[in-house]
Structure 1
Amino acid sequence: MQTLIINAQPDLTNKAHFSTKLQEMFLTKFAAQFPGATPTILNLYATQIPRIEEVQLLKVWNQPTLAADAAALAQTSADLLAQFKAHQRIVIVSPLHNFNVTSRLKDYLDNILIARETFKYTADGSVGLMTANYKVLLLQASGSIYTNDDRYTSLEFSRFYLQKMFEEIMGFDQFYIARAQGTATLPAAEVLTAAAQDLDQVFSQFYV
């Protein structure tokens, strides 16, 4: 089963980040479960991701005939979409930025949330097209804790946004999350132990 890891960590080469450690945990479990298999890894901050700007995606979407630069952008966007659709297991690795997804991850989603490709409009509302046993797992690191049902819980928009986009808009079968949380307040060993337990709980379900 093809797995795509979408790494949305801006400080990509810094191995000390908890989101990076989450990815390493996942890769260790993946290698044990699927010896010989290799997931595809897309590092968003090391990749050209077209943006919704006048000279980028808006130029592509609004012009019937494309100049060379716009055609190249259109091809890049199309390649990202094709890669996404070719993988039934999507793993998103990301820190929480101001209670939401990182900016490059939002740009990426703008290239895959495409009508008639990953969802379609109907008279009764949008319908997801990614229904052939697609699942997504969010590996998220955060300085605070968002599972205590306190004032921070309702502010964590990234999980809500991603779950709604993947399940309700694109039609994914299931959304999972494993967290390394409290990184700003708790000892690192405690954070990583809890994160490993989180990942253990969802990993087998993710690949059912």
Structure 2
Amino acid sequence: MQTLIINAQPDLSSADHFSTKLQELFLAKFTAQFPDDKPTILNLYDTQIPRIEAGQLLDVWNQADLATDTAALAQVSAELLAQFKAHHRIVIVSPLHNFNVTSRMKDYLDNILIARETFKYTAVGSVGLMTDDYKVLLLQASGSIYTNNDRYTSLDISRFYLQKMFEEIMGFDQFYIARAQGTATLAANQVLAAAAAELDQAFAQFYV
């Protein structure tokens, strides 16, 4: 199964981040189940990701005749989209930044949420085009806990946003999440044990 790991952790130099540890847990399970396969890993903070601003995606979307620099950005964006569509299993590895996805993750989404490519507009609303057994798994690390039905539960914006974009807009079959949460208050071994248990459950369904 073609798997794309989208790593949205800005600090690639440190193995201490809980999102990085989540990716390691996933890779260990992947290797055990698919010893002859390797996932594609896209490190967003080590990759050129075009942004919605003048001279970048705004010019790509609005100009028929592109300048050399803008044409190169258009090619980068097209390659990101092609890579995304070629993988039927998408794994997003991310810390929580101010209750939401990282800035580079949002930039990446702006390159794949493309009308007539991953969704289309109709008279009754948008329809997803990624319906051929596509699934996404979010591996999310957070300092707080978002599953205790308290004030933080309604602030689970990252998970809500990604789930809606993948399932409702692009038409993915399933959205799964495994969390390393409470990293600011709980012992590391407690956080990772709970995360591993969630990942075990999600992984079993992710590759069905």
| Shared fold, TM over 0.5 | yes
Distance in 1 between residues matched to 2:156 and 2:14, nearest whole Å: 24
Task: Give the aligned partner of residue 39 of structure 2.
Answer: 39
| Cross-structure match for 1:104 | 104
Equivalent residue of 1:145, what SS? coil
User: Displacement, 1:73?
Assistant: 0.2
- Paired position in structure 1 for 2:200: 200
**CA distance, structure 2, for counterparts of residue 104 and residue 89 of structure 1:** 20
Q: SS of 1:126's equivalent?
A: strand
How far apart are the structure 2 equivalents of 1:73 and 1:6? 20
- Mapped to 1, the partners of 2:42 and 2:64 lie a distance apart of 30
Cα deviation 1:42-84 (Å, max 9, x = unaligned): 0000000000001100011111001110100000000000000
Give the alignment of 1:72-87 within 5 angstroms: 72-87=72-87
Q: Deviations over 1:153-187 (max 9, x none)?
A: 00110000000000000000000000000000000
Alignment-derived partner of residue 62 in structure 1: 62
How far residue 104 of structure 1 moved from its aligned partner, in angstroms, is 0.1
Residue number in structure 2 paired with 1:144: 144
Gapped runs of 5+ residues in structure 1?
Answer: none
Aligned pair count? 208
Using the TM superposition, give the Cα deviation of residue 204 of structure 1 relative to its aligned residue in structure 2, in angstroms. 1.1
1:160 aligns with 2:160: yes
Percentage identity across paired residues of the two chains:
83
Distance 2:204 2:152 in 1: 29
Residue number in structure 2 paired with 1:131: 131
Structure 2 segments unaligned to the other structure (5+ residues):
none
User: Partners in 2 of 1:202 and 1:41 — Cα distance?
Assistant: 19
1:5-48 per-residue CA deviation (whole Å, 9 max, x = no partner) reads 00000011110000000000000000000011000000000000
Match in the other structure for 1:18: 18
Deviation string 1:173-202 (CA, Å, 9 cap, x unpaired) is 000000000000000000000000000011
Take 1:155 and 1:106, find their aligned partners in 2: how far apart are those partners?
17
How many angstroms apart in 2 are the aligned matches of 1:74 and 1:146?
A: 38
Counterpart residue identity of residue 61, structure 1:
W
